[in-house]
Structures are given as structure tokens and as C-alpha cells.
A = this chain, B = another copy of it.
Amino acid sequence: MRLTILLFDRFTALDVVGGYEVLARLPGVETSFAATECGVVAADTRRLGLIAYQRLADVKQTDILYVPGGPGVDAVMTDAEVLRCVAGLSEQAAWTVGICNGVCVLGAAGLLAGRRVTTSWDSRDRVAAFGAEVLTDRFVIDGDLLTSAGVSASVDGALALATELVGAPAAQLVQLGIEYYPAPPFGPSSVDAVPESSKEAVLRWRAEVEPKQLEMTTPWHTR
């Protein structure tokens, strides 16, 4: 069973690795990282680089297509060639997975009309505009489509997909293997219990502070 994980400039690393760490360990799964070009793909912080071993255009078939999120999603949504590949691979795949605002990529590829999905807390309106019914769940399975909330929800979503693929007893062994019995040191139990003022602070940080931080610092890979 082939798992193809899409990488693109400014992906969010935990969107990728949260799901990968569950799915790549399932018996018979062959994992491949694919991007427009082979080589190093830089995460949103510019400090982490993951390797794409395949060109997306060279992927002829996959059983699971996995689309993570990140600030780079905006550029992906206007890349006709990537969207064509995503739509084509999704059509043949047994499962299509969208994580965080990566769900927007599926929407831009024309895959969300009439589908029940979830996405990151700050992308719900955007995903709904593609004609999807957006739930506030941590993950949602609708037919052959698995979507998850933001970033770390990729672990929960992937465990749910693992249950579909190999059954709950085997999926629980994977959960044990990655010791996933989470215990956050603080915080509410749901993103929807977080005050609006905190959400505004995060959005402001992303819009105003993060880009300046990136400009000010030289990525290691260009030194």
C-alpha cells in the first residue's frame, strides 16, 4: 500500500510527521515524500528541511494521498499543475487525507463539494466556501476522505485512518509504539473553548511578527 505525502515550500512539519509516524509504521505501507521537484523542501520556520524523493508529476498512483497544511498552502492553491496532480491521484486513491489548512488544497482541486470535513480552527470559513460541510471535530471520515483539524490533530486523524486500514487492535499497538497518551500541561480540552482574544493574538502574530522574524534571520541552509 503506497502512501504519498505532498511536500511544498513552507509546509508545517508536525502536519506531516504526526500522520507519517502513525501511517508509515503500518504493515505493508510504503511511504514516499513527493514535491514539485526532488530535494530539500523547507518548512515554514525555514529551519527544518525534509527530503522529497519523488517528483509529484512522476507519481502515477497512490493508495493514500496525504496533503498537509502550512503557510505555503496559499501558493499551492494557485498552482494549477499541483492541483491537477492532486485531483488525479485522489480520484484513483483508496484514501485522500487533508490535514489542517491543507484541506483548502483539496478544495481548490475540486474535491470538497458536498463533503463533510474538518480543518484548522482558522480555516473553517475558507473550506466552507468550497461547498463542504465543515464540522468542528478533531477528525472526520466521509467515505474515502479523511480530514483533520490543525497540525497536531494529524496524529488523531491518522490513528482513525489506521483503524480503518488495519483494525483497532493493530492501530492501538501503533498508538503504544508512539506512546500516544497525551497529557498537555495546561489549556482547555477543545480549541472551541479558547477565548477569541487568544485566537486574534495568534493570527496577529502570524500576520505581523512571523514574516519579520523570517526576514531577519538567515536560514541555516543558505549559510
* Contact flag A149-B14 (CB < 8 Å), given A24-B47, A186-B172: no
Residue-by-residue, is A78-96 near B (CB-CB < 8 Å gives 1, otherwise 0)?
0000000000000000000
**With contacts A12-B21, A14-B17 known, what are 18 further pairs, Cβ within 8 A?**
A13-B17, A14-B20, A14-B155, A16-B17, A20-B47, A24-B48, A31-B48, A33-B48, A120-B179, A121-B179, A138-B181, A151-B180, A153-B183, A172-B187, A177-B206, A179-B191, A181-B188, A181-B189
Q: Contact: B168 with A156, CB < 8 Å? A: no
Q: Contact: B47 with A32, CB < 8 Å? A: yes
Interface membership of A159, Cβ < 8 A: yes
Interface residues of A in 153-180 (CB under 8 A from B): 153, 155-156, 159-160, 163, 168, 171-173, 175-180
A168 CA to B183 CA in the complex, in Å?
Answer: 15
Q: Contact: A220 with B171, CB < 8 Å? A: no
Residue-by-residue, is A89-133 near B (CB-CB < 8 Å gives 1, otherwise 0)?
000000000001000000000000000000011000000000000
Q: Contact: B24 with A45, CB < 8 Å? A: yes
CB distance from A8 to the nearest CB of B (A): 16
Interface membership of A60, Cβ < 8 A: no
A51 CA to B175 CA in the complex, in Å?
Answer: 27
A74 CA to B186 CA in the complex, in Å?
Answer: 34
A-B residue pairs in contact (CB < 8 Å), sample of 9:
A31-B48, A48-B50, A49-B51, A121-B176, A156-B185, A160-B185, A175-B184, A176-B202, A181-B188
